[in-house]
Structure formats: C-alpha cells, structure tokens
Amino acid sequence: MIRARGLTKQYGPKTAVDHADFTVVPGRVTGFLGPNGAGKSTTMRMILGLDRPTAGDVTVNGRHYREFAAPLHEVGALLDAKAVHGGRSAYNHLLCLAQSNGIPRRRVDEVIALVGLQTVAKKPSRGFSLGMGQRLGIAGALLGDPGILMFDEPVNGLDPEGILWIRTLMRRLASEGRTVFVSSHLMSEMAVTADHLVVIGRGRILADTGMRDFIDANATSHVRVRSPQLGELEPLLAARGWRVESDPDLSLRVYGAGSAQVGDIAADHAIRLHELGIVQPSLEEAFMQLTEDTVEYHAGLPEPETPPGTPPDAVPPGGGGRG
C-alpha cells in the first residue's frame, strides 16, 4: 500500500508535483498515467525516498521509505533500466543488491532464471539490449520478493515479445495479491494492463478511479455510420437533436443516438447504409479529453528543445543518463 498526502515537489519556480493525493492498494495493477513531464517519475522517486518532497508526505506500508533498513523486502522498483554500472556483470549487480538487504545468494540465481538472463548473467551489463536491461532491472525488483512493485515506463522501447512478457508478469504479480504501480504515457498499454488508474497532468492528480469508470466518465460512445447518401442522412439525424460530426472518410459520428435508431431513420427514408455500428470510447479518448489542458509540451509548438526548468522526467525517452 502506497499512500500520498499533499505530496508536492518544486524545482525552483516550477512545480513538478502539486499536492498529489492518492492511494495504491494491493491485488490490482494501478496504472500511473500522464503525459511526458507530468510528474510521474518525480512522484515515484519521492515514494522511494530518492527525492525529498517540498511538502506533503508519502508512505509505503505506513512508513517513510528511508526508514526501511531492508527495503527490497517491501518494495521492488524499476525506475530506469540503465541505472546500473555497465562494467559489472548482471550477476554481480544483483549480488550487491541482495547482500545489502541480507538476501541469500541463491535468490540471485532464482531471479536471473525468472527473467531469463541465465546465458548472459556473467557478462557486463553495458552490452545488454534495452530489453535485457529491463529484465535485469525487474530481476532486481523481484529480489526481495516484495509485496509492492513499482515500474516506471517499463515497456518503453521494448519489442512486442518483451512488452507481452512484462504485461503478463505485472498481471501475475497483482493476482498474487501484490501492489503493482506502473507508470506509462502509453494509453494503449495501460488499457490492457491496468485495473485502476491514477491520472496525472502537470503535477496534479486528475483522477484516481477504476479503468472502466474513468473511460465512462471522460468519453462517450458514438454511432458510426457510413453511407453514399450522407448529404441526405445528416440533416435527418441533426433534426432529432443529436450531435452529428462528419469524418473525412465519408462517415458520420452520431452522439447520443443508438445504432437501431439511426438504422431505422435511414430505412424510413430509403437511405442506403454501408456501415453502422457503435464505437466504444477508448482510454485514449478519455485521457485526451481529461488532459487536454494539461499536456505540457504540445507537439508542433515552437518550444526550445529543453525549456529552462524542465524537470528531469521531461527528458524524452532514451535521453536518460541524467545525474
């Protein structure tokens, strides 16, 4: 269980995390969703005691992280797959971590087997691919068999096989009753992984709710209709008081109507339909609607590449290696 109360982090004049309140509970995958630079990584670093909150408080199982003498038994975290000394072998890297928390050596072999790194375990990790680095980071997170797991953008840059592997792993960990807290800016990924969402934008928590509830609350379904006689159909639908929008591919989006109603109207007026169906809203739409105003760096705007005062987690993926 992770609990944040009024958690705030300021870097100079810039507020990276702004009075965040949320709770992450066991037994489900909680997605931490937000655009790049929204404060996800900063929040995670504060949970792990790496960064000090400017105000507010965050606890893990009722304690501050820095009070734990052997935290790997409580929390396993993958913040940055590249946060290892490249000259050290994967095995020795995990051994250092295990020893610091009094974890026996055989557990190192276990987690290496668990993530499938046996063949490269004795090699320096600097030669690892991103996927292998991610697996090494996850092996480290699993060392102490912790009840809480945190992953920061775990699928970034992974190939489909790696993504599927991580997705399955996170679901399994949650089904074992563990707390799984995973951040991502990839809606599609969250939609298939997370049961619960904490949504952050510009440092503020915008939602802390179930996945289905979130989509229902923030986006509406619509009827998609395609016809060679759209010009005739559109005024008929609009006349019923429904909001109608036309798509460039010669289809209409009808909000507030059922597909049966639209089909009946077409039939009554002998209008041929080529397609008719309900479109369920996606997490993406819900998210876009919610965060419309909070996206930090809109594409296409003539922003300097790294605006002054950019929090470290605004660095684009792959631009890591920050001190």
Partner 1 sequence: MTAAAAPAPAAPVRKASFGNVLLSEWTKILTVKSTFWTLLAGAIIVIGFSALWALAFTTSYDQLSPADRATLEPTTPMQIAFYFGEVVFGVLGVLVITTEYGTGMIRTSLTAMPRRGHYLAAKALVLGGVVLVAGMVVSFASFFVSQAVLMAQDLNGSLGDKGVLRSVIGGGIYLALIAVMALGVGTLLRHTAGSVVAVFVILFILGIVGNFLPGRWGETVNKYLPSNAGAAILSPGTPGNSLSPWTGLGLFALYTAIVLVVALVLFERLDA
User: Is residue 300 a contact residue for partner 1 (CB under 8 A)?
Assistant: no
Other beta carbons within 10 angstroms of residue 249's beta carbon come to 7
**Dist. CA 130–CA 127, nearest whole Å:** 10
- Residue closer to partner 1 (CB basis): 81 or 265: 81
For the bound state, the minimum distance from the C-beta of residue 145 to partner 1, rounded and expressed in Å, comes to 10
Site size toward partner 1, by CB under 8 A: 49
Binding piece for partner 1, criterion CB under 8 A, among 57-65, 107-115, 154-162, 287-295: 57-65
User: Is residue 64 a contact residue for partner 1 (CB under 8 A)?
Assistant: yes
User: Is residue 105 a contact residue for partner 1 (CB under 8 A)?
Assistant: no
Q: Which of residues 301-320 bind partner 1 (CB under 8 A)?
A: 320
Sheet holding 14-24, edge to edge: 14-24, 2-11, 55-60
- Residue closer to partner 1 (CB basis): 76 or 265: 76
* Alpha carbon distances (Å) from 182 to 8, 101, 169, 175: 20, 24, 12, 15
- Residue closer to partner 1 (CB basis): 49 or 210: 49
What are residue 22's DSSP bridge partners?
4
Q: Which of residues 74-103 bind partner 1 (CB under 8 A)?
A: 74-75, 77, 79-80, 82-89, 92, 95-97, 99-102
Cβ(7)–Cβ(21) under 8 Å? yes
Distance of CA 162 to the CA centre of its chain: 16
Q: Which of residues 141-160 bind partner 1 (CB under 8 A)?
A: 147
**Dist. CA 117–CA 109, nearest whole Å:** 10
For the bound state, the minimum distance from the C-beta of residue 168 to partner 1, rounded and expressed in Å, comes to 24
**Burial level of 248, CB count in 10 A (0-12/13-18/19+)?**
exposed
Site of interaction with partner 1 (CB under 8 A)? 1, 3, 45, 48-52, 59, 61-75, 77, 79-80, 82-89, 92, 95-97, 99-102, 140, 147, 320-323
